[in-house]
Amino acid sequence: MNTNTKTTMLYNKGSLQNETLIDLYKRMLLPRMIEEKMLILLRQGKISKWFSGIGQEAISVGVTYSLNKDEYILPMHRNLGVFTTRDIPLNRLFSQWQGKANGFTKGRDRSFHFGTQEYNIIGMISHLGPQLGVADGIALANKLKNNNHACAVFCGDGGTSEGDFHEALNVASVWSLPVLFCIENNGYGLSTPTSEQYNCEHIADKGIGYGMESHIIDGNNILEVYTKVSELAESIRNNPRPILLEFKTFRMRGHEEASGTKYVPTELMDAWAVKDPLDNYREYLITNGILTNTIDEEFRNEIKNNINENLKATFEEDVISSTIEKELNDVYQKTEYKHVSENSETENIRLIDAISKGLKQAMEQNDSIVVMGQDVAEYGGVFKITEGFIELFGKERVRNTPICESAIVSAAYGLAINGMKAVMEMQFADFVSTGFNPIVNLLAKSHYRWNQKADVVIRMPCGAGVGAGPFHSQSNEAWFTKTPGLKVVYPAFPYDAKGLLTTAINDPNPVLFFEHKGLYRTIYQDVPTDYYTLPIGKASLLKEGKDVTIIAFGLALHWALETLKKDQNISADLIDLRSLQPLDTDTIFTSVKKTGKVIILQEDSLFGSLSGEISSLITENCFKYLDAPVKRVASLDTPIPFAGNLEKEYLPKHRFENELSELLAY
């Protein structure tokens, strides 16, 4: 043990070479000096915001230095040392913070809210917790690939209060995923002390409840961080399992600079100031003859010049420019639809069978597909879509999940990041509310923010008419058609369901695939036996007429068919949307311009629903062709009741015929 009376820490060099000791010092010095410069620029108004990691450099640098460069690391606000230790060029980092084109997000996001596959860094979002679930997915892909890779993800002490923290740790433990959960316990959330965040002595204690190995590490001691994390990373590469690491440290500046630190007792600031990781390590190196003041000064001058040169280049870089077309085109990853024609042999099957067969044939074609969801393995899912799959594909690819929708959506995104494909089953579409955040903030924004595909399909058993009540019956497609970056598909027939599901799985963008429970076992159709595809974004014109355009999807489409069958004197175009986002406006507008009257029938409640958007589009684009106001028929603006007579009154089926008659008579 080497000790130094001038420091407050004990450093154990062990077998480390002096070259490594010096390199660790330089790698801590770089983010410290960058930060000091950024704080000056902040005061000068040349940058807009800064989250300081001063005093925590040993954690970022030590953890990153411990991992191989081809292993993923998922940092947070205060982890500048992760980016610099991965040797990201400073001009690109500075451009990112300035919102310039040379950055990583084309000016669409700021600071450390970005990722880069080139450096195997996956950036965070402000919601913090989902990052942990993403690491689960990355680690699961590593495990399935059997590549002996570790993965490290960061979280602050405040973030451990989020549900995503508990979900991610539980999933990682149940699945024995090789993840290092690195918790930087720096004493405070924004201004909330840890004593008001959790009621146990150490965050590391939380790992015990999940059957997880956990360790407490002095986060200000670079050698302890590096040696311990190196040892544990090597261990989980060979024996996959999650480990919780609590790094004891302190946040010497505000949550962000505008917050200040007035809420922190002065004596606490003073106590941690003498534990500064850079100053103490410098003294240790100098005292032991590994570093000299002269060499240290040379390092600082070199870094200072490097920072200034790259800042100058960044400030001279043009303000970013774009066009409306570029911005819209980057919401989704471009994909060319690959049509696979159906074979001539068909079988008369139900909607549920078509979905099951489409999923099975897709998995046979692509062995990177992983199906995840509650009870999808041996039980086959509550609707039996995946019944028999475990015998065909094994438990590695057909995975039962704990009841934790948020973590599983995040893990599905992690699988996509690491080159695999996730098909997740929401047990009921209603339950998506507990996974809403990662869908709309991770999946939807991923490609637009940093050009990363979110190759995920989420299957959504939905709809009323089966007496399931307010928590198992919602038609909640409008929650997602509003969100740029998501695709939403809603087939009403077995033929469409199979072909659209295979296309959704081929699509690199996130797709929510709605499946009406009331149609699962009631609708039969002749469906090709082999694998085939159908284009997303193309509606189906089921009937042609001259007097009115009827637009519907899902179960409502069948209500419309019943009405037309009942009164065959009605001459109507009947459009099955099939795809809600993107929406086939060409088919809609062509029909409306021909008939002059349009009625939109949906199962969802009226206010704020998709029918409102369709109505607005028709009014804006086809107004001069209309012979009557656009009519919408929808469910009541109430939650869905359970009792059969109340549910019947809630749904618009019995009102549609009268509304259609009134429109035709207008």
Report the C-alpha gap between 565 and 17 in whole angstroms: 84
The distance of Cα 90 from the centroid of its chain, to the nearest Å, equals 27
The whole-number average pLDDT for the span 355-364 is 98
Residue type at position 551: I
pLDDT band at 643 (very low <50, low <70, confident <90, very high): very high
Using one digit for the tens of pLDDT, what is the confidence trace for 77-135?
Answer: 889 999 999 999 999 999 998 999 999 999 898 888 899 999 999 988 888 888 999 99
**What separation in angstroms does the CA of 570 have from each of 126, 559, 566, 615?**
54, 15, 9, 22
Looking at the chain, the whole-number percentage of residues with pLDDT higher than 70 is 98
Report the C-alpha gap between 364 and 344 in whole angstroms: 20
Using one digit for the tens of pLDDT, what is the confidence trace for 202-259?
Answer: 989 999 999 999 999 999 999 999 999 999 999 999 999 999 999 999 887 767 666 7
- Amino acid 263: pLDDT: 80
Q: Which of 221-235, 257-271, 589-603 has the weakest average pLDDT?
A: 257-271
Q: For residue 384, how many other CB atoms are within 10 A of its CB?
A: 15
The burial class, CB within 10 Å (0-12 / 13-18 / 19+), for 298 is exposed
- Amino acid 3: pLDDT: 39
Using one digit for the tens of pLDDT, what is the confidence trace for 6-49?
Answer: 567 899 999 999 999 999 999 999 999 999 998 898 888 887 77
Using one digit for the tens of pLDDT, what is the confidence trace for 487-533?
Answer: 999 999 999 999 999 999 999 999 999 999 999 999 999 999 999 99
- Amino acid 256: pLDDT: 67
Whether pLDDT at 4 is above 60? no
Report the C-alpha gap between 303 and 554 in whole angstroms: 62
The distance of Cα 447 from the centroid of its chain, to the nearest Å, equals 11
Whether pLDDT at 270 is above 80? no
The three-class DSSP label of residue 639 is coil
Whether pLDDT at 563 is above 90? yes
Q: pTM score, two decimals? A: 0.94
The whole-number average pLDDT for the span 454-468 is 94
Using one digit for the tens of pLDDT, what is the confidence trace for 437-452?
Answer: 999 999 999 999 999 9
Whether pLDDT at 5 is above 70? no
Phi and psi at residue 598, to the nearest 5°: -145, 140
Residue (of 412, 488, 452) closest to 109 by Cα position: 452
Tokens of 120: 């195997």
* Run of H or E residues at 371: strand 369-373
Report the C-alpha gap between 278 and 273 in whole angstroms: 11
| Cβ atoms 600, 614 nearer than 8 A | yes
Q: Looking at residue 7, what DSSP letter applies?
A: S
The whole-number average pLDDT for the span 364-378 is 96
Whether pLDDT at 403 is above 80? yes
Tell how strand 151-156 and strand 179-185 pair up.
parallel
- Amino acid 129: pLDDT: 84
Average pLDDT, the chain: 94
Using one digit for the tens of pLDDT, what is the confidence trace for 48-75?
Answer: 777 878 899 999 999 999 999 999 999 9
Higher-pLDDT residue of 200 and 552 is: 552
- Amino acid 6: pLDDT: 58
The three-class DSSP label of residue 50 is coil
Q: Looking at residue 515, what DSSP letter applies?
A: E
The whole-number average pLDDT for the span 595-623 is 97
- The answer to whether residue 127 is catalytic is no
| Catalytic, out of 77, 113, 166, 472 | 472
| Cβ atoms 633, 656 nearer than 8 A | yes
